[in-house]
A and B are shown apart, each in its own frame.
Chain A
Amino acid sequence: MATVILESAPFAEAIVKVSKEIFDDNKNCLKELAVIGMHTRGVFLAKRIIAQLHKLGGKELQIPFGSLDITLYRDDIDDLGSDMPTIKETEIPFDINKKNIILVDDVLYTGRTIRAALDVLTSFGRPSFIKLAVLVDRGCRELPIEANYIGLKYPSKKKIKVCCKELDNIDQIVVI
């Protein structure tokens, strides 16, 4: 049974909130800012955050966007059985050296995905810093990793699923 914990309107508000926090926090270094979304839904969230940042920063602000897939960097490949995950494109069309990276994912849980993402990013170069933005933090960390920007804190032992209009025809967050 899926329970909706965040409807479409507050979903949008959460993104606005996170974007505002990112903007305020990085006011002094907006030129070096870049947003990278993690496959699959983090990519859509990252695009929306960039749109918000552009709104806040005005015409002259152009924030580079990248997408990132962690499949080859997972630490649980042996446990996946015969169903290997499809590898998606990692596209970072800019030099990440000395950039200020905002990494975007939908749900923060064990922290293992983020650990893998950090490995992917460092294989591209050496950014000035990497900060993490997530829509939901469901707790239960297995690694010492925390998000800098959080849309919704919702500690939960149950699986949380983020739905995006772009993929699921609706914006909402549900507990399964």
Chain B
Amino acid sequence: MSLQIKNIHIVDPSQNKDSKGDIFIENGIIVSKPNNQPKKIIDGQGKIAVPGLIDIHCHLREPGLESKETIKTGTYSAAKGGITTVFCMPNTKPVIDNAPTVEFILLKAQKEGIVNVFPIGCATKGSLGEELSEIGVLKKAGIIAISDDGNPISNSQIMRRALEYTKMFNIPVISHCEDKELSKNGAMNEGLNSTILGLRGIPSQSEEAMVSRDIMLAELTGGHLHIAHISTAGSVDMVRRAKKKGLNVTAETCPHYFSLTDNDVKIYDTNTKMNPPLRSRKDVDAVKKGLADGSIDCIATDHAPHTQEEKAREFDMAPFGIIGFETMISLVLNELVDAKVLTLSQAIEKMTTNPAKIFNLKNRGTLKAGGIADITIIDPNHSYEFKKEDISSKSKNSPFIGRTFKGSAAITIVGGKVVYQR
């Protein structure tokens, strides 16, 4: 199987490339010159080729929560969004705190998955925050990082141990930063809007208190702390200072934290309910600034599917989370690149080169010769309305339904194979 993408605008941050050219693929690997005449040629006129996007934070819900999403539907949805690799969080049923579950996911992904799947293992047994999970065994089974995602480790001693212990495996501890007491019963950002809507608030400080603690523990242990879905100005600032200090701290944010505010909760739209919650305009601006100055390394979706039944409830009772695979690239293009927050290359870097570097993914996140041929072809001129009926994820909980975008993924190539073509 050989493939040539002809005459395409190549943007590859890993080699500082931003120019027209051709890409050759043989046996799933990118080559500089083909040995044989390519069997298939893709005309790249007017399109942009970038390394396949890596989404380091999502929920595929399988095993156990298949009514929300499966590995099959989730990875197809990702492919549609131009994503070639996903890291799935361990809050499945059962949780990913044991090797058989890791193996199940990898097997299922191999059989039914459309894109590459790397599981994230639990940091603690049962994700209960009490005892470290068998991180070494999990690593051997194939996990890429550890995290208790939605159940943040409240015990500082255990968090310290997690950061310390993982040093020998060279994998990061992903921390969902939230002081559960400060955010107790909260449903949205604490502020004027929560007062008006009569909903219990989640103050920024519930995130920031934990970001602060975890950075201190990273400093204490020298472990690799990766902070998930940063949403507040204070968090961005603390990460910025930690990096300046040279600590082993990295961070991600999600498209909704740079494109929506708590004003969007207005009519109790449960598709605007996620954790951390949508924050204020000031926070959105700070997140953008953090992306621009490199304080925030990655953009991830936190794709969190929930069924329509679960979301069509009272705001307080609806689960936290929104889907994100199919809107990430468009939101990045429109809200960051078109708005001149980031150059296209910088934006792509946060979804390719940086994730590959932070999570030690070899030969991914690059279009260099010898790299695995995961490639996303973007059509920058495709204008479209994001419609509910067009969503491929099993769940439809997106606050972006009805929004018009310019620019989307046109072709998604995983391991040299076209897995999605619009």
Question: Touching in the complex, A and B, CB below 8 A?
Answer: no
Interface residues, chain B, with chain A CB atoms under 8 Å away: none
